[in-house]
Amino acid sequence: MRAVLYFLGHLTDLDIKWLVSNGRAVSYGEGDALVIAGEPITDIGFLMEGELSIVIGDQSEKEVNQMHAGEIFGEVSFLDSRPPSATVLAATPVRILAIDRNDMEAKLDRDPEFAARFFRGIGVLLANRLRGLIGHLDDADKDNLFSQEVAGEIDPELLDVVNLAGRRFDLMVDLFREHAS
């Protein structure tokens, strides 16, 4: 299950429209670095098209995750204001929706209902990632620490969110394409 199911399902259609209308479309070629470990970032990114590779290590040699359309990145640095601990590379040509940190913070400050939905979505997303990481600590395959989602049943409360998430991502893609052209 991708971030789209954990994050976007907590937002409203109006929230999605705000994100797209206040973001900017950015394209990268295969192999380009979108984020470099240790270097501050100023945006939260939504992967709209293509695939990303998340790597760690001195020479960025160990892939720990792959991201596909609907994923969000830069959210941890947004939350704690520290530089990222991993490098994000374009595994294929990609298009992202980039939201400036200052614009996002201003929206969160003036719209507490949006802020509650945004932070709940981020919290659920990060909780799932943490559970996935913990589950992998006992696995023999350590090559991709975040590759598989948490197995088992989905919380019934989360199912309601999941039902909306796909539609919200479709809306986001449609608006993104209109806005980017």
CA angle 9, 13, 18 (to 5 degrees): 110
> Which CATH number characterizes residue 94's domain?
2.60.120.10
Instruction: Provide the b/e sequence for 101-123 (b: ≥16 CB within 10 Å).
Output: bebbeebeeeeeebeebbeebbe
Report the alpha-carbon distance of residue 70 to residue 58 in Å, rounded: 28
Instruction: Give the chain's domain count.
Output: 1
Q: Where are the alpha helices (DSSP H) in the chain?
A: 3-6, 13-22, 75-80, 101-110, 112-136, 156-180
- Written as tens digits, the pLDDT of the chain (181 aa) is 466 677 888 899 999 999 999 999 999 999 999 999 999 999 999 999 999 999 987 665 788 888 999 889 999 999 999 999 999 999 999 999 999 999 999 999 999 999 999 999 999 888 887 877 777 676 655 555 544 444 445 566 666 667 677 788 888 888 999 988 7
pTM: 0.81
Report the alpha-carbon distance of residue 75 to residue 85 in Å, rounded: 12
Q: Tokens representing 132?
A: 């996935």
Residues 6+ apart with CB under 8 A from 91: 30, 50, 51, 52, 53, 66
Instruction: Provide the strand spans (E) within 23-100.
Output: 24-28, 33-35, 43-49, 52-56, 62-67, 72-73, 87-90, 94-100
Q: For position 21, what pLDDT does the model report?
A: 96
Identify the DSSP state of 44: E
Write the single-letter amino acid at 152.
G
Q: For position 147, what pLDDT does the model report?
A: 44
Which domain, by its residues, includes 88?
3-180
Q: Tokens representing 145?
A: 């620490």
Q: For position 105, what pLDDT does the model report?
A: 96
Q: For position 148, what pLDDT does the model report?
A: 44
